[in-house]
Every structure is written in C-alpha cells, then in structure tokens.
C-alpha cells in the first residue's frame, strides 16, 4: 500500500464489510491480492453479525429453551415459571455472541493483512473511491467489490410513525418486551422475531398482506409452522395490510385494510429489505442499477463496469448471508484470474422458526409454475423414530426429483433441525446425486436425516 496525502493504492477495494465484503477481502488476501475493506461502521460483520442472522438466532435459541422447558411438562419435568431478565439477556447476545464473533473477524482480517478503513465510500469513477469520515481519504484501486448490503424497507406512506414503530434492528436491541406487539409482514423476519417476542411474553398480532405466511414457499412446508404460530400468536391476519399508524397516549393505533383498528404497544415492520446502492456515486461508473436499487451482475459477479464487481444483498434476491459469502469468494477468484462462477444449483434457505423451514434447489411450486414434470415424495416425520423421541411429529421431508434420470432437483424440509438437514440436501442437489444415491447412503439411526433416505426409498418403491 502506498500512502501519501491520504491517497491509498490497492489491488482491490471492498466497499462494505458484511459477509459478502469480508469473504471477498479474505479470499483476495489468500490469492495474493492486497485488499482493503471500507465500512461505514468501521467493523467487519455487517447486517448479518450486528443486526441480522446472529442476534436473531441468539434470541431464537432463548425462545427454543423456553419452549423446551414448557414441553418438558409433557414427560413430567416441571422447571416452574421462567423468569427472564432482559439486561443479562442483552449482554449475553451483544457481548458473548456478537462481540466474540466480531473480535474473531477482526483478528482474521489482521492475520490475513486485510485493512479495515472506517468511513462511507463514494465512487469517483471506475478506479477511485472517496472515503468520507473521520479520516477522509482517496483509494485508487485496480478492482472494486461493492458489498453494501440492504436496509429494511419502510411501510409505504408510514415512514413518520414514531419510535414505537420498530424495524428489525430496533427489535433485536430488545429495549423492552411490549405487552402487545403488531408484526407487519409474515416473511422471514416477521415470523422469526414474532416467535421471539411471543416466547418472551408479548401478545403478537401478525398482519400479512398476501393470503399465506412465507409467500413463495411450498404450502405443505409452511403449514406446520403456520399451525404452531397460530397457537403462539394472539392472531394472524392474512390478506390484510396496515393502512395507517398513529401514536396516541403511549400506544400505537393501527388501521387495517379490513377496517379493523388495533391498539398495540409497539409495531415491528418487516416487509422486506431493499439494496443500499443510492448515494454511492455509482453513476460515475458503468455499473447498472435498476429501479429497485439492485446492482446488476453476471455469474462472475461482474457489473457492467469491468473494474467494479458487486456481491451480496446489493445484487438482489435471495438476500442471504451464505449467498453473499459465496459471491464474495467468486468475485475475488475472478479478479485473481481464476475460472470461478456463482453457478450453484442450490442456495439453501432456512427460516429459523419453530419448526424450522428449509429448502434448496427446485421447489414443487416452481416446478408447477414452469410446467416441469417432476416426481415428488413426502416423508412425514410422524413415522420417524428420532422425531418421536423428540416429541415432535410435526415435520415433513420432501424430495423433488427428475422422473427420467432420478436426479434430486430439490428438497424441502420442515421440523426442528431442518436448517441442519438441508446441508445434505444441498450437497445432493449440487453434486447431481440421484434418489438412488440418497436411498443407498447409510444414514445413522435414529436421526432425522433418515427422513431423506426414507423419502428417497418412497420414490424408488414407486418406480
């Protein structure tokens, strides 16, 4: 690195230190490229570590512990009524979980020689960035990797509704446990955080504008989660929108499209996330940005500008950390001259609710939409020995296969631990394994993974 009048020259400037950005920078360093990461927060981890995946999963773990204690009554174990102290809970989440991982990332960066520059980066053309912040500087680069992520979408027309209206970041801060919580949006965040607050004692009302939870996900996978959420939440209102929100006397009044008015203590808005591509000076590059702010990339993570790559949420759906990480590695490898591409057949998706919902590859709904002939096998966990020992018969494993070749095209799972089981499924889809391969692989007994083998055997028996 050449310093002088605060102009820095590097091989690769990475803008944004989330999973996409830090994975790209670490891979650059491994491949002998000098990389710096510019991040507005001065830390590596991004939304995933500080306001997303990790804090939400920490809180969902707490919810699962509370739930396990409640369920234990069924087999004669009574721990008594739980008492939750918020301050130790917040401290554990922030220091022991998030803080520990953040320190780990900082030390990996140090070990790999990746410098983290604090400040807001703005492009000044295809080879230079301006960093705004405490130490303003310019960074000249041979290549840049844009990894600025996404931010919560506001509810249209309701941007000024006051501080009782939370986004996911505010909800994860756990300022309090409101008596009555309205969750707007029945997607990933609405369901995960809705379950957290319900477990902590809030009466949760969830409002979803479409006619089902987790739109886009196969209905048979959503059903067990919907049933569970119906028990945990005060109510779930489908096909309903919030049309107005107003603060009144320490509460929030929500007008619904059904004509109903709800009075709640807090509102969590979880209606999607939008790419953070505005105000970055991208117009000074040749990178193309669409009307929703999505930066267009090809499978090598190249934008229309030969010097600018983009990875992660800023490149659109699916906005998942592991996709961002894989893209980050691909971008670094392409810059280093390797024949790498983001051409994965399976990007696993996991909703970490109770029960967990997970899928990868082709879904049944996609196959139907595309008019593609597939064979489907379902194995209900009611027939799984392991599920019985866990007291959980509410799961399902589903295989989507090609009728001609027997190739596994997709897998859907719902049940506790589905998020771990989807790893085998992703490997099967990615490696183009057949149903016969799955059936002939010995799965340890009694495990939930046997349900993949059983589903495969169901298909073979039919053939």
Q: What backbone phi and psi angles, to 5 degrees, belong to 268?
A: -105, 120
CA–CA separation, 92 vs 80, rounded Å? 23
Among ligand FAD, ligand NAD, none, what does residue 187 contact (CB within 5–8 Å per kind)?
ligand NAD
| 210 binds ligand NAD per the rule CB under 6 A | yes
One-character DSSP codes across 118-153: ESEEEE-SSSEEEEESSS-EEEEEEEEEE---EEEP
Of the candidates 128, 35, 20, the residue with the CA atom closest to the CA atom of residue 336: 35
User: Smallest distance, Å, CB 401 to ligand NAD?
Assistant: 25
User: Is residue 454 within 8 Å of 433, Cβ to Cβ?
Assistant: no
Task: Name the binder of 406 from ligand FAD, ligand NAD, none, CB < 5-8 A by kind.
Answer: none
**Is 289 in contact with 173 (CB distance < 8 Å)?**
no
What number of chain residues touch ligand NAD (CB under 6 A)? Answer: 26
Active-site residue flag, 322: no
109 binds ligand NAD (CB under 6 A): no
351 binds ligand NAD, rule: CB under 6 A = yes
Which residue's CB atom is positioned nearest to ligand NAD?
A: 187
Q: How far is the CB of 452 from ligand FAD (least distance, A)?
A: 22
Q: Is 365 near ligand NAD (CB under 6 A)? A: no
Is residue 272 near ligand NAD by the rule CB under 6 A? yes
Contact pattern from residue 385 through residue 424 relative to ligand FAD, giving x for each residue in contact according to CB under 6 A and a dash for the rest: ----------------------------------------
CA dihedral angle for residue 285, residue 290, residue 292, residue 297, rounded to 10 degrees: -70
**Selected range binding ligand NAD among 111-119, 347-355, 428-436, 437-445, rule: CB under 6 A:** 347-355
300 lies in the site for ligand NAD, by CB under 6 A? no
Site string (31-70) toward ligand FAD, x via CB under 6 A = -------xxxx----xxx--xxx--xx-------------
As measured in angstroms, the least distance from the Cβ of 193 to ligand FAD is 7
Count of residues that interact with ligand FAD, criterion CB under 6 A: 37
Q: Residue 256 and residue 237: Cα distance in Å, rounded?
A: 10
Residues in the chain: 463
| Beta carbon nearer to ligand NAD, 114 or 242 | 242
Interface with ligand NAD includes 190 (CB under 6 A)? yes
Report what 262 binds from ligand NAD, ligand FAD, none; CB cut-off 5-8 Å by kind.
Answer: none
130 touches ligand FAD by CB under 6 A: no
C-alpha span between 190 and 358 (Å, rounded): 16
Structure tokens at 275: 């790419």
Dihedrals phi, psi of 158, to nearest 5 degrees: -120, 25
Q: Does 453 bind ligand NAD (CB under 6 A)?
A: no
Q: Which long-range contacts (CB under 8 A, 24 or more apart) does 440-448 make?
A: 445/385, 446/384, 446/385, 446/386, 446/389, 447/386, 448/381, 448/384, 448/386, 448/387, 448/395, 448/415, 448/416, 448/417, 448/421
* Tokens encoding 452: 């993949």
The residues of the shown chain that bind ligand FAD, judged by CB under 6 A, are 15-21, 38-41, 46-48, 51-53, 56-57, 120-121, 147-150, 168, 189, 276, 280, 312-313, 319-322, 324, 352
């Amino acid at each position: 690195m050449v310093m002088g009048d605060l102009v820095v020259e590097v091989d690769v400037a990475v803008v944004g230190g989330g999973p996409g950005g830090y994975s790209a920078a670490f891979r650059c360093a491994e491949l002998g490229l000098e990389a710096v990461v510019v991040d507005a927060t001065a830390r590596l981890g991004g939304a995933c570590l500080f306001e997303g995946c990790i804090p939400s999963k920490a809180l969902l773990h707490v919810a699962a512990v509370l739930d396990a204690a409640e369920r234990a009554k069924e087999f004669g174990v009574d721990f008594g009524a739980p008492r939750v102290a918020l301050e130790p809970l917040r401290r554990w989440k922030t220091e022991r979980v998030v803080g520990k991982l953040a320190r780990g990332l900082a030390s990996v960066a140090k070990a790999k020689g990746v410098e983290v520059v604090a400040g807001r980066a703005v492009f000044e053309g295809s080879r230079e960035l301006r960093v705004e912040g405490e130490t303003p500087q310019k960074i000249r680069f041979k290549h840049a990797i844009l990894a600025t992520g996404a931010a919560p979408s506001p509810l249209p027309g309701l941007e000024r509704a006051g501080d009782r209206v939370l986004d996911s970041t505010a909800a994860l801060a756990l300022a309090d446990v409101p008596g009555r919580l309205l969750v707007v949006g029945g997607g990933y965040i609405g369901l995960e955080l809705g379950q957290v607050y319900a477990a902590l004692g809030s009466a949760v009302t969830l409002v979803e504008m479409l006619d089902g939870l987790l739109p886009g996900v196969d209905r048979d996978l959503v059903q067990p989660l919907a049933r569970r959420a119906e028990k945990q939440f005060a109510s779930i209102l489908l096909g309903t929108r919030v049309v107005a929100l107003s603060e009144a006397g320490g509460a929030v009044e929500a007008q619904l499209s059904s004509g109903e008015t709800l009075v709640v203590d807090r509102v969590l808005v979880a209606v999607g996330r939008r790419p953070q591509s505005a105000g970055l000076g991208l117009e000074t590059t040749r990178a193309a940005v669409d009307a929703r702010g999505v930066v267009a990339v090809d499978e090598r993570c190249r934008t229309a500008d030969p010097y600018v790559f983009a990875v992660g949420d800023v490149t659109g759906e699916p906005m998942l950390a592991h996709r961002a990480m894989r893209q980050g590695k691909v971008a670094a490898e392409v810059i280093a001259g390797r024949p790498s591409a983001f051409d994965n057949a399976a990007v696993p998706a996991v909703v970490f609710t109770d029960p967990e919902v997970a899928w990868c590859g082709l879904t049944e709904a996609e196959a139907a939409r595309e008019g593609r002939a597939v064979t489907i096998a379902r194995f209900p966990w009611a027939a799984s020995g392991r599920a019985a020992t866990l007291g959980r018969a509410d799961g399902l494993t589903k295989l989507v296969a090609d009728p001609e070749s027997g190739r596994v095209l997709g897998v859907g799972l719902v049940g506790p631990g589905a998020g771990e089981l989807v790893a085998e499924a992703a490997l099967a889809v990615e490696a183009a394994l057949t149903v016969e391969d799955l059936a002939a692989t010995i799965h340890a007994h009694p495990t939930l993974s046997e349900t993949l083998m059983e589903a495969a055997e169901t298909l073979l028996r039919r053939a």
